[in-house]
Amino acid sequence: MNTDVERLLEEETEPIETQEDTTISEGEGGCCDYIYLYKMPHLTRAQLNGLDKYKYSAIDTSPLSKYIMHPFWNWLVQFFPMSLAPNVIMRICYVCLVIDYSLLAHYDWDFTANNTDQSGIPRWVWFVVAVLHAASHHLDGVDGKQARRTGSGTPLGELMDHGIDSNCMWMLPVTLMSVLGSDSSNSGIAMQYAPLLLLSLTFNFWISHWEKYNTGVLYLPWMFDIAQTTVVGLFLLTGILTPAGLKAVCAQYIAPMNTLFYIFIPLGFLGSLLLSVYNVYKSVQAGTHKQTTFLGMMRPWVSYIIMNLLLCSYTVFSEEDYLAHPRVWTIAYGFSFSSLVCRLMVNQMCSTDCDLIDPIIPPLGLAWFLGVVVGIEPTIVITVYSVFSMGSFFHLSYTVVNDICDHLNICCFLITRKRR
């Protein structure tokens, strides 16, 4: 391994605090900054024991990250108080994403606000979205450095960081749809193709964690920081030029914006697939792979493929209802995806096999059956399921965070250790 990679591995590896007493006593109230509404453990004892041996390993060779982002974050983190927990930074990061999404959902619920030259989204919204997205990106980069700076790094920090990233990966494409609009004759993305856009962009995140599930190393894609920076610039230009002006300039000097999306997103999809397969192959050849059989390696794909088939086919069989309420479908897809990938991350960190059929699949299958086969009003079915998937994700997050806090004897949002 070359010196640069070794240095990056050392930089990105967060220390894991060891605890003398990690037992969960009967009737214990949980982490000091959480109030238990009920006691419902999610992680098994085998998973918690596997967590004790986990060590974060990542490789980031992107020139943008190496020469610009990391030096900037190393400088920025010095202004954060030592008492500020890294997980608080990630919570602020998540709030920024939610505000972004909510603002655009308010002004552009059905992605038609920019189908004409007169935008239905005020200019100030784009500047707010740009600032919040930039803040979210840089907070995401600073949290790990704050953990190392304060000596508070634990597996919980990685899980929360990447769990929030899993939400970012579906919210980001949805915000980009508001820039383009849904009129394909005006450089927009037709809603019939929006599911493929969302699938292609979230796929890059999914396959990176499938790769880590098999290799034990997270290979950070070069395009991540480039994409985040480009998106911020895109939002700023949209605010300056208006969506119609931006699309006109792009069409005149480069190509229609939707054409660029149709070309580069599939290329990114293909590139991520080939690179991840290659890295897994190298791991197998070197004997460092975590899964001992081919079926074990491919196990996570079963639920992922089923989820995408069910949700994407739903838009085909219930096209009229989907086109009337596309954002409801994106919420259903997004939180299903986040639940799926977060469970994969937990299993990878705990060195346990993931479920062949993820717990989110049976409810999704039932929703598909009721809406497509039985013929219950599809809008009602997908709305109920979207609420369920959101609740399921937050319930998963709540229980897993509390289980890890109890096991490691730490507080989620405080650096101070809890005392018994």
Least confident among 36-40, 67-71, 74-78, 136-140: 36-40
Q: What is the pLDDT of residues 224-283, one digit of tens each?
A: 788 889 899 999 999 999 999 999 999 999 999 999 888 888 888 898 899 999 999 999
Query: What is residue 201's predicted lDDT score, i.e. its pLDDT?
Result: 87
- Three-class DSSP labels, 168-214: HHHHHHHHHHHHHCCCHHHCCCCCCCHHHHHHHHHHHHHHHHHHHHH
Please determine, for residue 7, whether its predicted confidence score (pLDDT) is greater than 60: no
Mean pLDDT, rounded, for 46-56:
88
Sign for the CA dihedral angle at 344, 350, 351, 354 comes to negative
| Structure-model confidence comparison of residues 415 and 4, the more confident one | 415
Query: What is residue 14's predicted lDDT score, i.e. its pLDDT?
Result: 41
- Distance CA(211)–CA(213), nearest Å, equals 5
Helix (H) or strand (E) holding 415: none
- How far is CA 333 from each of CA 194, 202, 300, 301, rounded to the nearest angstrom? 12, 10, 17, 16
Query: What is residue 416's predicted lDDT score, i.e. its pLDDT?
Result: 64
Q: What is the pLDDT of residues 114-143, one digit of tens each?
A: 888 888 899 999 999 999 999 999 999 999
Provide the mean pLDDT of the chain. 86
Mean pLDDT, rounded, for 287-314:
94
Percent of residues in the chain assigned helix, strand, coil, to nearest 5: 70, 0, 30
Torsion of CA 113, 115, 118, 120, to 10 degrees: 0
Which of 115-124, 356-365, 406-415 has the largest mean confidence?
356-365
**Do residues 220 and 59 lie in contact, with contact meaning Cβ atoms separated by under 8 Å?**
yes
Please determine, for residue 335, whether its predicted confidence score (pLDDT) is greater than 90: yes
Please determine, for residue 166, whether its predicted confidence score (pLDDT) is greater than 70: yes
Secondary structure tally for the chain: helices H, strands E: 15, 2
In 10 A of CB 124, how many CB atoms?
A: 10
Q: Where are the domains of the chain?
A: 57-408
The overall pTM is greater than 0.85: yes
**Do residues 333 and 203 lie in contact, with contact meaning Cβ atoms separated by under 8 Å?**
no
Query: What is residue 417's predicted lDDT score, i.e. its pLDDT?
Result: 55
Tokens at 264, concatenated:
């580069």
Q: What is the pLDDT of residues 74-98, one digit of tens each?
A: 999 999 999 999 999 999 999 999 9
Residue 51, burial from CB neighbour count under 10 angstroms (0-12, 13-18, 19+): buried
Mean pLDDT, rounded, for 55-77:
90
